[in-house]
Amino acid sequence: MPFVGRESQTRRPVTAFGFELLASDGAARRGRVTTAHGPVETPAFMPVGTAATVKGMTAEMVAATGAEMVLANTYHLMLRPGAGRIERLGGLHDFMNWPGPILTDSGGFQVMSLAKLRKIGEEGVTFRSHIDGAKVTLTPERSVEIQKQLDATVTMVFDECTQWPVSEDEAAQSMRLSMRWAARSRAAFVERPGYGLFGIVQGSAYRDLREESAKTLTDIGFDGHAVGGLAVGEGQATMFEMLEATTPHLPAERPRYLMGVGKPADIVGAVARGIDLFDCVLPTRSGRTGQAFTRGGTLNMRNARHAEDGEPLDPDCGCPACRNHSRAYLHHLFKAEEMLGPILLTAHNLTCYQDLMREIRAAIEAGRFGGLAAAHAKIGR
């Protein structure tokens, strides 16, 4: 998408938050999410800007990859620089100079994975910050309030990310706590034109719990639904099985978001099971460590075999790394530990992911998604 600066952001006409289904091919869906900060063509991949930045990328560079929506994180931003400060500075869109839609994770996953001395109860979670050890309490109401201060286009309900592996009884207790928190998040959310609140399906790897969770969230009523608690070690086959157990019980007229996924083959397989939105740190993290995603698979740019290779990384890619530089140059940058290497490879990987999403959308529209899915399964990247 062409990058639009802050001045144009203030002129954007207010629109209702919604989802339009434009085409389908089997369970795969081609749609459009409309928001206060512009539309998002789906299926879509959201680059991860955890701390109000996609690492190594300016907002203009992120937009140049084709991304229309990014993700930021409530937990990290509430601790540093603080939601109040971001609110005083005009909200997250102005703060990070991203005029398009922003989805904010509620912080539940980070509380479970990063925070110290956690204490979970019906009211919420009390923990010690991983930054300075300060005591913090996060409840569904407070999480939603922080996301409003950030001016998130899409707010996520506060939930408990169920550990893996887990017994069915423990998974049920965790899921039902998340459902009670979801209802409280719904009650705390302040409706504004073009802004949405998503519920999160939990239930670990148990089909009946996933169905119960999906039906509970549908009864509460949300603008979209996420599938959480997957890609945590259960394996691709189980993840796909849980999607098959979940998406039929979610409203067709609402967008569906699979949290924290994943590799291209994971994305294609999830689209085949009715998912519309994705995020994952993989393309950016891989870019910083020298791994490149290409149409033929992944490459490690630190490998000596690239040292005298004058060919572009991917001749069919239009990113700056592929247009202007050779594999040998990228190899040199990583061996010399030059910061340009991770920047170029991050831009390339995000471009590769956005190209994949465009290919998926076109294939669904043309009724040939099955062929695309089979091709990607064969590559196995």
Closest by alpha carbon to 219, among 250, 185, 174, 255? Answer: 250
- Looking up tokens 């990058």 gives 3
Cβ(292)–Cβ(272) below 8 Å: no
Element of type H or E holding 220: helix 207-220
Which position among 223, 266, 276, 279 bears the catalytic label? 279
Closest by alpha carbon to 199, among 281, 142, 266, 144? Answer: 144
Residue 279 catalytic? yes
Calpha distance 19→76 (Å, rounded): 29
Q: Could you tell me where the beta strands, DSSP code E, fall in the chain?
A: 18-25, 28-34, 40-42, 44-46, 70-73, 102-105, 116-120, 125-128, 135-138, 154-156, 196-201, 224-227, 256-258, 277-279, 291-294, 297-300
Closest by alpha carbon to 28, among 369, 260, 378? Answer: 369
Per-residue tokens: 285: 């993290």
Q: How far is CA 192 from CA 56, 140, 153, 339, 341, in A?
A: 32, 19, 10, 41, 42
Residue 159 catalytic? no
Which position among 105, 151, 314, 355 bears the catalytic label? 105
Catalytic residues: 105, 279
